[in-house]
């Protein structure tokens, strides 16, 4: 008999809820077996309460049972670390690398400029890979949810990667789910955490490429851009990102 699984999602803000204009502090999520539910909730709660972006006064935790037969299992994206000594070098690398993934120069630039200008981005921006136009309804962004690691998959991956940490494994799970999304060509991301300056570009074609120094320390900007093909069906894409449960397994 397969174990019961739960999707656990957290978001935290200061100055009220996100819908009421609160400043985004942190978010996180995982997909875990029922026996690990309490530990997962505690970990996400600590993340909300002890974050460098501020002092959260709104914390929302959602726990939802997921039927095991609904879960798709995929291997993690391969991880590569690029070389960049400072922010300008990191962003130049990102510009050039995105273009190797069929992202136009204009769209690559618009994606970087968007993340550099945002300190309170709600969800990920969906952006045309050819024009750089934002396509998410009302420019509200979309959240990729319902993903996590199998215990064996995580142990195997962590044993081979010295960079393993809660931050990276959570980001890799999300990036892996997004890379398998229909119509998505690439994702550009850097954290809005002012203490963390490394970001990444991920794709099903090339994997997860970590880029040091995509911003300066102390900068609150950040977020995610999902670059999509011209034939994108937004309803289908959004349904996959928000509803399809994914477990990262051995690979």
Mean pLDDT of 96-103: 98
Residues belonging to the chain: 251
In this structure, what is the dihedral angle of CA atoms 136, 140, 141, 143, given to the nearest 10 degrees?
A: -130
pLDDT at 111: 98
Residue 205, helix vs strand vs coil: coil
Question: How far, in whole angstroms, is CA 243 from its chain's centroid?
Answer: 15
Output the pLDDT for position 21: 84
- Domain of residue 145: give its range: 73-248
Identify whether residues 118 and 54 lie together within a single domain.
no
Q: In this predicted model, what pLDDT tens digit does every residue of 103-143 receive, in sequence order?
A: 999 999 999 999 999 887 878 999 999 999 999 977 788 99
pLDDT of residue 54: 86
Element (H, E) at 190: strand 184-190
137 plus 27 within the same structural domain:
no
pLDDT at 51: 85
Taking only the tens place, the pLDDT of each residue in 38-81 is 999 999 999 999 888 889 999 999 999 999 889 999 999 999 99
pLDDT higher than 90, residue 95: yes
pTM score over 0.75: yes
Question: End of a domain among 70, 93, 111?
Answer: 70
Q: Are residues 26 and 107 part of one domain?
A: no
Taking only the tens place, the pLDDT of each residue in 9-34 is: 999 999 988 888 899 988 889 999 99
Shared domain check, 186 and 104: yes
Rounded Cα distance between 134 and 99, Å, is 18
Please indicate, yes or no, whether residues 66 and 78 belong to a single structural domain of this protein. Answer: no
Domain stops at, among 70, 85, 117? 70
Q: Indicate if the pLDDT at residue 2 is higher than 80.
A: no
Q: Which of 41, 70, 99 is the last residue of a domain?
A: 70
Span 155-193, pLDDT tens digits: 999 999 888 888 899 999 999 999 999 999 999 999 999
pLDDT of residue 68: 87
- Residues 6 or more apart whose CB falls under 8 angstroms from that of 98 comprise 107, 108, 111, 186, 188, 201, 227
Asked if residue 202 lies in contact with residue 196, where contact means CB atoms within 8 angstroms, the answer is no
Residue 190 shares a structural domain with residue 243: yes
Q: Work out the percent of the chain whose per-residue pLDDT is above 70.
A: 99
pLDDT of residue 251: 61
What integer pLDDT is reported at residue 1 of this predicted model? 57
Tokens of 226: 């999902």
* pLDDT for 235 beyond 90: yes
Residue 40 has a pLDDT of: 93
Q: What is the total count of domains within the chain?
A: 2
Whether 149 and 235 map to the same domain: the answer is: yes
CA 150 to the chain's CA centroid: 18
Say whether pLDDT at 223 is over 70: yes
């Amino acid at each position: 008999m397969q174990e019961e699984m739960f999707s656990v999602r957290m978001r935290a803000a200061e100055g009220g809820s996100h819908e009421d204009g609160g400043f985004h502090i942190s978010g996180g999520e995982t997909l875990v077996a029922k026996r690990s539910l309490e530990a997962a909730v505690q970990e996400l709660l600590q993340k909300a309460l002890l974050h460098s972006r501020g002092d959260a006064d709104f914390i929302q935790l959602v726990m939802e049972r997921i039927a095991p037969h609904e879960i798709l299992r995929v291997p993690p994206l391969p991880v590569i670390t690029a070389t960049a000594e400072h922010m300008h070098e990191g962003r130049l690398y990102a510009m050039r690398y995105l273009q190797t993934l069929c992202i136009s120069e204009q769209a690559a630039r618009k994606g970087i400029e968007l993340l550099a200008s945002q300190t309170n981005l709600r969800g990920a921006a969906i952006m045309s890979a050819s024009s750089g136009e934002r396509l998410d309804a009302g420019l509200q962004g979309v959240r990729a949810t319902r993903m996590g690691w199998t215990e064996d998959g995580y142990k195997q991956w962590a044993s081979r990667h010295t960079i393993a940490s809660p931050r990276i494994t959570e980001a890799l799970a999300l990036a892996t789910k997004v890379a398998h999304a229909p119509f998505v060509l690439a994702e550009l991301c850097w954290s809005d955490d002012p203490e963390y300056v490394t970001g990444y570009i991920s794709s099903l074609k090339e994997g997860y490429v970590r880029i040091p120094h995509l911003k300066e320390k102390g900068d609150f900007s950040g977020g995610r851009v999902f670059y999509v093909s011209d034939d994108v069906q937004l309803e289908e894409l959004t349904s996959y990102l928000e509803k399809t449960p994914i477990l990262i397994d051995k690979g």
